[in-house]
Amino acid sequence: MKIDKNIIKELSNYLDEFNLTEIEITEKDTKIKVSKNNVSVNNQPVTTPSSINVKNENVSSAANIKSGIEITSPIIGTAYHSPEPGAKKFAEVGKKIKKGDTIMIVEAMKTMNHVPSTADGVVKEICVEDGHPVEFGQTIIILE
């Protein structure tokens, strides 16, 4: 069986374009799956150079993480700051948050998952833009 290399290149480009870690297509009885290699260092995921821009953005907020409480996404999906478009945001910089308060919604497979705060504090930084994708374990909010 001969596989068209252009399809693999195109799928690989989609990984970078849409910030994906894996993509798969099936046509008749042919299935092609392309994924990025992820490496772990001290149990912390490190992405390959193809997504270095994303890691560089996170590095700039690394100093803030040390001086605050980091709240991470419990799942992969799309982050939303409010329950519906135009509604009041769950969390804003400077707002007091109590443990258990919803700070964001992460949509995964058409299901809206409320993300509760794991601690009391004041929102220092919101690390994810509204409507943007998040990965499991990615920092979404930092509290002081």
How large is the average pLDDT for residues 97-101? 91
Whether residues 53 and 110 fall in one domain: no
Which of 10-14, 23-27, 90-94, 105-109 bottoms out in mean pLDDT, i.e. has the lowest? 23-27
pLDDT band (50, 70, 90) for residue 25: confident
Instruction: Quote the pLDDT of residue 61.
Output: 40
Residues 6+ apart with CB under 8 A from 26: 32
Whether residues 14 and 27 fall in one domain: yes
Whether residues 140 and 90 fall in one domain: yes
Contact indicator for 134, 104 with CB cutoff of 8 Å? no
The per-residue pLDDT for range 105-116, each reduced to its tens digit, is: 999 888 899 999
Contact indicator for 68, 142 with CB cutoff of 8 Å? yes
Instruction: For the chain, give the mean pLDDT.
Output: 77
Whether residues 78 and 52 fall in one domain: no
Whether residues 56 and 69 fall in one domain: no
Whether residues 70 and 36 fall in one domain: no
Query: pTM to 2 decimals?
Result: 0.53
The per-residue pLDDT for range 27-79, each reduced to its tens digit, is: 777 777 787 765 445 545 544 443 322 223 333 344 433 468 889 999 999 99
Instruction: Quote the pLDDT of residue 64.
Output: 36
Q: What residues make up the domain containing 4? A: 1-60
d(C-alpha 115, C-alpha 103), whole Å: 6
Number of domains the chain is built from: 2
What DSSP string describes 33-100? EEE--EEEETTEEEE-GGGHHHHHHHHHTHHHHHTSEEEE-SSSEEEESSSSTTSPPS--TT-EE-TT
Whether residues 53 and 96 fall in one domain: no
Instruction: Quote the pLDDT of residue 45.
Output: 52
* CATH classification of the domain holding 74: 2.40.50.100
Residue 101 corresponds to which tokens in the numbers above? 């308060």
Residue 84 corresponds to which tokens in the numbers above? 């519906």
Contact indicator for 130, 81 with CB cutoff of 8 Å? yes
Fill in the amino acid letter for 10: E
Instruction: Quote the pLDDT of residue 22.
Output: 82
Using alpha carbons, list the distances in angstroms from residue 24 to 18, 19, 27, 48: 14, 14, 10, 19
Could you say which DSSP state residue 103 is in? E
Instruction: Quote the pLDDT of residue 134.
Output: 92
Whether residues 92 and 139 fall in one domain: yes
Whether residues 77 and 139 fall in one domain: yes
